[in-house]
Structure 1
């Protein structure tokens, strides 16, 4: 006779059949819970957690400080030098344009020294452009600017050579070609070089930010790991009345040393990086702008005379450039890039050459006023003599020229740039050195701390065997 289950009843298998299988993780949790009910089990868990925590602290420290160390190294050896190279590209192009214009003020064949200076400027710019291309590191902005510079520089030099050829034959067309070359320089080459400088300076700021950013994760993990080690020792003391556990004590000392090294090393590096910017990087940017501004002013001054009575636009550009450089005319100390550079200079080595440039600009403006007055009155020969030297219309030899003043300004600014570069390299190098060995040292100390924690816990576990 068969038995039919009634509605709502359940059918279960024989008692000897196995029940449903439990997940492996559930069984692991049960074993862990059971182990935690005994002191040996709790000690094993504490040891494992402490070792893992200290090792994670070491790994995160090594990772974060390695990134900051690389950024600090790049500030000193890559991004700042590339930013300086970009500024030098701009300066070389501006000086080439100024020199080319100056050569046209001499009748017939331009002096060999002028031609040599022009050629050196073009060669320097070409070399630095190639260097920027080689170090672009996949930057699309840098590659775009470098490509445009490579394409347009031969166009500019071709216009200059055509202008020279016409000038040697005494043809007025030479001045027209020179103005075309100047438009090419100021309309395409210099704006592109300026964009390249801005891109490289942006990379410099990014490297500064990366190097100075606080390693919060490493600091937090270090504090937690150290607190865990101290708690474990206190727990041992309360349960055993033993004041010291050698293994745990060694682990705590290693973790504490790693944390102190991390905080002190990175803080020191941040201070040095701040100094490198405040006492070098910032001044260099202002000085580079001032040097470029003086070159452009000199170029516009020369082109005013090349234009032979049609240079009002160049004269206006000269006045605007000098105002940017040294403030409004007749208002000494009223502002401008040179005043800013003077305020940023923090020692006599930086202040003295800038002050020489300030004095040179004042002298330059005074002599230019005389030359411009002669040009406005139609005395071209006298104006030319005050700009490049020679005899004025009365036959008097002019020995104090605007060209000499410009050279004094450029020399002072170059000396200031060299001084500030040295200060920058010193402090940026100190920042890089402050992080040297920290990633590797933190990793080693973390391993030692983990080993100390495990040995200390192992010593307690041996008492239960």
Structure 2
């Protein structure tokens, strides 16, 4: 019987079976609602991020850095030119307004005031002359009314009706025909020898002094305020332009120093030309605006200040003359509020006090002999006028009305002659100061002319020079 070998004998082993690959998982049917993973496309990068990366990459090389610096410098120069052109254009426009708009309007407003006051004075003088007014008096009154009406029409055409000046012009246009109507009634009654004529004349004077002249004074104040505002705008320093110029010059100097340190070349012709162009603009800006400020300030502090004082003096003389005439017309019928004195005589004294005060101030403001001479003649005429007025009042107080009338409107040694001397001298002084103002204001405006266009052209040339200078350096790397 055969037995298997014992445990210690070597037995043969069957070979290990080959590994069976694992079966792929069965696909999940779509109906089972399983999520199928999909590929997510890469998010596109923002354009600015791409450009920023390119700039960072370019900044790692010297040519790239030169391109960036050149572009920035060119933009700075162009921005400097644009800011200078804009700011100086605004200053030049304001200076143009001073010469061509606001000062003429202020002068016209003063003329409206003077025409109205002179018309009132002339009407009273004509009334005192009797039933038949002298032709020259009638002509002067008519010229005053027509002159005031013409200036009011011109002012209304160039003024916003809703503005303060527009309201005053409308008021004067409404009151002017009312005033002239009262004057015509006074004349008609005077020709018939009726005492009602004096009442109409006094009422017309009240309308003029109480409503029309205050409106004309407010109109003058508005127009003068506009003139002062325009002058202040023209004289404001262009701080943005000056600051931009300093920044540009500093950047150009830094760039040239950088170039010198890296290349040992003293000059870069393009950068040097750009620096020269920027320097010219800054110097032109500083000098031109300084001259403009000086001339415009001189025009305001000497010319316009003198015009204001002289206009006040002339208006005061006209008012004083009208009140002097009305003293004889009313013959004590109009008293002060307390009943202690004649109202017109009191107003005459106040007007003469104001006249002397304004003449003293005008003499101090006059800065040459041609300006002081007519003011001195006006002072002399005012003193003579007061002396003759005292004689006329003394004559009237003695009961000699005809003698007093002769001393007021007579052909020889009358207060009327003294008034004419004062008025003629003030007219000459006003004409001189108007020429002085216009000359100084035009010089100020002229100092800014050409600067806006010049700054723009030089800025473009400076930017081109920067590009040329940087390209010169870039050509060394090719």
The two structures, once aligned, show a CA RMSD in angstroms of 1.8
Paired residue for 2:430?
417
Q: C-alpha distance in 1, partners of 2:287/2:131? A: 67
Offset at residue 442 of structure 1 (A): 0.4
Question: Which residue, 121, 141, 147 being the options, matches 1:124?
Answer: 147
Structure 1 runs not aligned, ≥5 long: 4-10, 327-335, 391-398
Structure 2 runs not aligned, ≥5 long: 1-24, 28-34, 335-341
Q: Return closer, same or farther for 1:128/1:359 CA change in 2, 3 Å cut-off.
A: same
Question: Deviation string for 1:436-459 (max 9, x for gaps)?
Answer: 100000000000000000111111
Q: C-alpha distance in 2, partners of 1:242/1:286? A: 65
Q: C-alpha distance in 1, partners of 2:161/2:248? A: 40
Paired residue for 1:299?
322
Superposition TM-score, scaled by structure 2 size: 0.89
Question: Which residue, 399, 402, 418 being the options, matches 1:405?
Answer: 418
Paired residue for 2:113?
90
Q: C-alpha distance in 2, partners of 1:114/1:218? A: 59
Paired residue for 1:317?
347
Paired residue for 1:24?
47
Q: C-alpha distance in 1, partners of 2:250/2:455? A: 17
Q: Return closer, same or farther for 1:40/1:174 CA change in 2, 3 Å cut-off.
A: same
Question: Deviation string for 1:294-316 (max 9, x for gaps)?
Answer: 00000000011100222411111
Offset at residue 344 of structure 1 (A): 0.4
Which stretch shifts more, 83-92 or 26-35? 26-35
Superposition TM-score, scaled by structure 1 size: 0.92
Contact 1:255–1:445 (8 Å) recurs in 2? yes
Offset at residue 137 of structure 1 (A): 5.7
Q: Return closer, same or farther for 1:446/1:13 CA change in 2, 3 Å cut-off.
A: farther
Do structure 1's residue 462 and structure 2's residue 475 form an aligned pair?
Answer: yes
Q: What secondary structure does 2:128 align onto?
A: coil
Pairs aligned (count): 441
Question: Deviation string for 1:284-343 (max 9, x for gaps)?
Answer: 1100110011000000000111002224111111111111111xxxxxxxxx11100000
- 1:108-123 counterparts in 2 under 5 A? 108-123=131-146
Question: Deviation string for 1:209-259 (max 9, x for gaps)?
Answer: 010000000000011011111111111111111111111111111111111
Q: Return closer, same or farther for 1:324/1:13 CA change in 2, 3 Å cut-off.
A: farther
Moved over 6 A (4+): 11-14
Offset at residue 17 of structure 1 (A): 4.4
Question: Deviation string for 1:381-424 (max 9, x for gaps)?
Answer: 1211110117xxxxxxxx21000000000011111111111111
Which stretch shifts more, 298-307 or 277-286? 277-286
Q: C-alpha distance in 2, partners of 1:104/1:449? A: 75
Q: Which has the larger radius of gyration?
A: 2
Q: C-alpha distance in 1, partners of 2:179/2:141? A: 12
Q: C-alpha distance in 2, partners of 1:139/1:58? A: 39
Do structure 1's residue 353 and structure 2's residue 366 form an aligned pair?
Answer: no
- 1:21-170 counterparts in 2 under 5 A? 21-136=44-159, 140-170=163-193
Contact 1:266–1:435 (8 Å) recurs in 2? yes
Contact 1:149–1:189 (8 Å) recurs in 2? yes
Offset at residue 21 of structure 1 (A): 3.0
